[in-house]
Amino acid sequence: MQVYLLYGGKSAEHEISLSTAFQITQAIYYQYYSVIPIYITRTGTWLQGQTITEPAKFADNLRLEEADKKVQAINEHENSKGIKFLPNGFNVEDSVVFPVLHGPNGEDGTVQGLLETLNIPYVGNSVLASAIGNDKIMSKLLFKQAGIPVVPFEAIDAQAWKHDSEKVIARCEGELLYPMYVKPASLGSGIGVTQATDVVELKNAINDAFLLGSRVIVERGIAAREIEIGLLGNEEIATSVPGEILSFDDVYDRKLAMKEDHEARIPVELDDELLTKLVDFSKRAFAVIDGSGLARCDFFISANQDIYLNEITTMPGFYKNAMYPRLWEAVGLSYSDLIEELLQLVLKKNQANN
């Protein structure tokens, strides 16, 4: 079976996607699959590299550069060559697309919609689930509707900010308390997040967030632990052990390079009642967005054990030392077996739909 590995992209999380793709090439079971790399450059050009039948030597082997005529072997040079690829070039028969794209034009439903239109099976969530999960404003509104607690927040659109920023600030200060956290509505959890402790910082943070998107969310800051749970499955949803992020700065560094061993406690010991609630909220959130395949739910737990769902991520960081694979490794599911499980879930879903 051929696995089209779709990675890179135009978003701020390009490097994360590239590293994820590289690590998948290290771990996939080549006795069952060959891998066709499809690299989306930062400018949006799609390039197809030569079929991979063994682990790539370096991550930069997957950073394809356009070739004039022929495709050079993926391991010949640090920057391998690729030929331009059009989405209708996917071979539908005996193939699966594995998109490891993050942020806009990746995990927001756009690529998923393209693949649906072409009737191509792919790893991960559907158009609806991807779009909702990627939009922190819409997901929080739906979670509130479903009775899943979220941190108090205010949604800001670009036009409201442009025409009457003082009114927006007054609304934030009237409904929320400092410190506030400001972030673009549609980027990864660690991208573009700024703490604001006063009105000057709040204005600056909102301006900065609008450089990364057209909608911004402002949340009330709370003193809390961050607990994460992985989900895996289609109809029958399995949940991982819980893990705790011990330092926010350990998720991504300023240059968006992955930390090889960011500080976390996996599994984290929680009392039975609290863990039961987290698992319940995780499965309910996954059902609300009509999720399938995989997701990671990130929670805040206050000192008095109040639970808030921070977000659901439909394509969580998938490099080997990211939280999602580590949560499953603690259950006994290796990185290679996790990849295999996701591919099998695609096949089962495709069979059920045909």
Binding annotation: 298, 311
Cα(11)–Cα(218) distance, integer angstroms: 21
Strand partners for 302: 224
Instruction: Write out the binding residues for Mg(2+).
Output: 298, 311
Please state the length of the chain. 354
Cα(122)–Cα(335) distance, integer angstroms: 19
| Cis upstream peptide for 179 (omega within 30°) | yes
CA–CA distances in Å: residue 306 to residues 130, 150, 190, 274, 339: 27, 10, 23, 9, 34
Listed residue (73, 59, 51) closest to 17, CA to CA: 59
Helices (H) and strands (E) in the chain, counts: 10, 16
Enumerate the H helices of the chain as residue ranges.
Answer: 14-27, 110-117, 127-134, 136-145, 158-163, 165-175, 199-210, 272-288, 323-329, 335-353
**139, 287 Cβ separation under 8 angstroms:** no
